[in-house]
Amino acid sequence: MADASTDLALLESTATTELKDCADELSLRAWNTKYFGDKGEMNTALKALGTLPKDQRPAYGQAVNAVKQRLISAKDQKEAEIKEQALLASLSANPIDVTLPGRAVSAGNLHVATKVMREIYSIFADMGFQIFRSREVEDDQTNFELLNMPPHHPARDMWDTFHTTTPGVLLRTHTSPGQIHVMKQFAPNPVRAVLPGMCYRHEAVSTRSEIQFEQVEGLVLGPNVTMADLKGTITAFARRLFGQERQVRIRSSYFPFTEPSIEVDIDWPKEDPNADRLTKGTGWLEIMGAGMVHPTVLRNGGYDPDQISGFAFGMGPQRITMLKYAIDDIRQFWKNDLRFLRQF
């Protein structure tokens, strides 16, 4: 024990002296390997434990640990000193020039899609509509069946769908299933709501069509709501957004969840060189589908079609934004190209 203790004391004093002489990180690392590496002196000292008589082992073990702790804390202190010295040295070698101009913080701007969405909300808010959020992952029943499209209904072909691996669960193809959620929440009371959000379709991407795009659904329910209310609301909306001189065209159409159904187009400025390509030569760009809510859908939502009637519409704000800002390719919206985004 006497020998081992003397060795230990010698080890500590040598290590402490050598530590004091360390002037940089490199020499500190070498010191660390020498004393605390796998084959380092501390490990060797610990192994000496096995050679001692049993009764001396606990005291020796404690002594080794105490030395270890003292050396580690001395090393930590030395390390901090070295770092501090290195920092001071680098600061005096490369003094900071406080007169240099700072780095400008670049101010972002709202995405053009967000801007137009907000404009749409404010127009409908002025007309007394509330905004509702509805889920993007839907079930087949709400996306199709309750909207009057039973399984194998040919109208389902209009909406090529992304199905999830869970049977019957899909990414909504339109915001119309939100109508059902609103009706179930508010039946039998009158409703005036817009439902914005992302929709997904398995479609060929082109200048006018994306697989992911926003829609804004509208739903108005109440006693004596008529097609005239629908036409008036849509025209007032279009003129607020595009200007009083803008032409609105209403065509008859078909949707299983509205009867009668219409589609609404807006004229595209003829002087735009892209007009022909975007409007397929017609001069008109479709912005929404709409119609009077089908009695079956009213019933599915908990309303009595003999008491309550209503209209619904679903528009594509990306198409609307293209029209408003003469953007010639819908794919620009989600590309994150700053040259495009900074223009708005």
State the residues that interact with ligand FA5 by CB under 6 A: 174, 176, 201, 203, 209-210, 213, 215, 217, 255, 258, 261, 286-291, 312-316, 318-319, 330
If the CB atoms of residues 60 and 333 are measured against ligand FA5, the closer one turns out to be 333
Which of residues 202 and 342 has its CB atom nearest to ligand FA5 in the complex?
202
Which position's Cβ is nearest ligand FA5? 316
What is the helix (H) or strand (E) element at residue 12, kind and residue range? helix 2-21
In the complex, minimum distance from the CB of residue 177 to ligand FA5, in angstroms, rounded to a whole number: 9
CB 255 to ligand FA5: min, Å: 4
Cβ nearer to ligand FA5, comparing 196 with 314: 314
**H or E, element range at 258:** strand 258-267
Strand 248-255 with 212-222, pairing: unpaired
> What are phi and psi for residue 277, nearest 5 degrees?
-65, -45
Closest contact distance (angstroms) between CB of 288 and ligand FA5 is: 5
Q: Which of 261/279 has CB closer to ligand FA5?
A: 261
Q: How far is the CB of 266 from ligand FA5 (least distance, A)?
A: 10
Q: Which of 183, 206, 175 minimizes the C-alpha distance to 315?
A: 175
Nearest distance in Å: CB 159, ligand FA5: 7
In the numeric block, the tokens 């009706």 are attached to 183
List of residues 6+ apart from 144 with CB closer than 8 A:
150, 151, 153, 156
Neighbour count for residue 333 (Cβ, 10 Å): 22
The label of the residue with tokens 């004393």 reads 35
Between 41 and 267, CB nearer to ligand FA5: 267
- Return the DSSP state at 145: G
